[in-house]
Structures are given as C-alpha cells and as structure tokens.
Structure 1
C-alpha cells in the first residue's frame, strides 16, 4: 500500500535529527509521533523550532524513545511503498532514526511523491490512449493549486497534504480523460 510520510527536524544542518514523524496510508490510516532525542543528538536550531513549534521541552515531556518509534515504524511501514515530498531530507532523517534504533538505514526507503503522482496520471492517460499528455504540467498545476494558504509545518498535516495531492492528481487525470465525467 502507498504511504506518505514526513518528518520535522532539529535543523537543516549536517547533524540534524528527526523530532517528529507522521505517516498516512492511502486508505487514510495515520500515525504521528514526537521523538525524544537520543543522548548524542545535540544539534538544535531555534529557527527550526519557530517554524514547526516543537520545543526541546515538549520533546522531553511528550516525545517517545527512538527505540519505540523505530519498532512501530518497522511494524507499520515494512513492505509498503513510502513516499515523501522531499525524500532527500526525509530520507536523511529516516536513516538517522533507523541507525539510532539499531536498524540498517536502508531497511525502509522513501521515494519522491511527485514521481508517484506522475506515474499514476501517466497510467490513466495511457489507458485512455492519451499517452502524449503533458503529465508533469498537470502534476505541477495540482501541486500549485493545493498549496495551503498557511503551512502548518508539522509532520501529520504535511503527510495528509501529500495524500490529498495524490487523490487530486488522480481526479484531474480522470477528468481530463473523460471531461463529462462519463
């Protein structure tokens, strides 16, 4: 099954680490966890904190251990197709989290959501004999139109946005194939 995931992090620095993870399955099931930093995770950016609103104090009070998060992730996400809007960053934090939990960093892999959106729309157009349709333009348009007025910058809303975009791309492609909704 398709799963969209997202992280919030301590910073965008080289030694950054995840402070929140959320995922949402294609069927709408979701999970969000604050992550209590491992002892050797010390990088912190007050700019990042201002953006996502997650403080060190909140992580100390409500965050769960890395071991718990990794165990839950592996049970819930293994064998599924994982996607993120920014796999270079999200993949980095996924690797940091997995390694800290004693799991090989490639036990879970994440791909770019936009690539999935393009694949889904292409399949719809090809089935309808419209393979020459400009699919990347359609996907870019859906993403631009679905950009929230204000961004929550939290992992669960960002994951839910990717799921919504997936649905919107599918709907837009189907509508273009059959404009009258036949």
Structure 2
C-alpha cells in the first residue's frame, strides 16, 4: 500500500532532528506523533519553531519518546511503499529517528512523491498522451494544488500529498476519457 509521509524538524541545520512525523495510507487512514527529543538532540531554530509552531517545551510535555515513535513507524510502515515531497530532508530525519530507536538507519526507505504521481499518471494516460504531456500534466496538477498558505505541520503536509495523488489519478482518468471522446477533425 502507498503511504505519504512528512516530518517537521528542529531546523534545517546539520544537527537537526525530527519534532513531528505523520503518515497517510492510500486508504486515507493516518497517524501523527509529536516527538520528544532525546537528551543529545540539542539543535534548535527559533525560525523553524515559528514556522511549525511547536515549542521544545510542548515536545517535552506532549511528545512521544523518539524510540517509541521509531518502533511504531517500523511496525506500521514496514513492507509498504512510502513517499515524501522532500525525501532528502525527510529521509535525513527518518534516519535520525530510527537511530534514536536503536534501529538500522535504512530500515525504512523513502521515495519522492512526484515520482509516484508520475508513475500513476503514466499507468492511466499511456497510449492516449505522450510522455511529455503526462509529465506536464503532473507538474501542472502539483502546482495547482499548492496551498496559498502552507500548513507546515506533518499531518497536514502528508494529507496534501495524499490529496494530490487522488486528484492526479482522478484528473488523469478524466483527461483520457475526454481525449478519447473528442470529435476527430477530418484533414
């Protein structure tokens, strides 16, 4: 099953760590965790806090211990194909979280959401549209679903990727139907 995942983090620095994670399965079920920092996770950006709205105090009070979140992720996501909009960043924080849980840092691997969007659009549209048309279609769909005000919370961002996937599949099928039903113009 496909899964869309997102992290929020302490900063975009070298020593940053995850502060929130969420995932949404293709069937729409989801889970989110605030992550309690481990004692050695000290990097913090006030700018990042302003963006996601999560304070260190709240994470310590309400967050689930990092090792527990890592085990929950492995239990819930192992064997599924999961994707993020920024897999290099999200993959970094996934590795940090897995290591905090005493798990191999590559126990789970992320793909790029855009790649699964394109693959699913091709499955639906190949034979009716060219590869370039399909790529342009997916790019346009991503741009048209970009929110005016980004959420910058893990569940909201993972839900956005899931919604994009659904919208792309629906619009791709509709585009195929429209093209096949379009009147042909004699030469």
| TM-score bracket for this pair, using the shorter chain length | over 0.9
How do residues 85-96 of structure 1 correspond to structure 2 at under 5 angstroms?
Answer: 85-96=85-96
1-structure distance, mates of 2:138, 2:91:
22
Which sits farther off after the overlay, 16-25 or 139-148? Answer: 139-148
Alignment match, 1:73: 73
1-structure distance, mates of 2:153, 2:115:
22
Larger Rg: 2
Alignment match, 2:46: 46
Alignment match, 1:178: 177
1-structure distance, mates of 2:122, 2:57:
46
2-structure distance, mates of 1:162, 1:120:
14
Unmatched 5+ residue regions in structure 2?
182-187
1-structure distance, mates of 2:124, 2:88:
28
- Counterpart check, 1:166 vs 2:165: yes
CA drift at 1:130: 3.3
Residues matched between the structures, number: 181
CA contact (8 A) 1:175 1:181 kept: no
CA contact (8 A) 2:84 2:113 kept: yes
State the superposition RMSD in angstroms.
1.5
Which sits farther off after the overlay, 103-112 or 128-137? Answer: 128-137
CA contact (8 A) 2:128 2:176 kept: no
TM-score (norm. length: structure 1):
0.95
1-structure distance, mates of 2:179, 2:106:
45
Which sits farther off after the overlay, 140-149 or 83-92? Answer: 140-149
The secondary structure found in structure 2 opposite 1:32 is strand
2-structure distance, mates of 1:61, 1:28:
28
CA drift at 1:17: 0.1
Unmatched 5+ residue regions in structure 1?
none
CA drift at 1:131: 4.3
2-structure distance, mates of 1:22, 1:140:
24
How do residues 57-72 of structure 1 correspond to structure 2 at under 5 angstroms?
Answer: 57-72=57-72
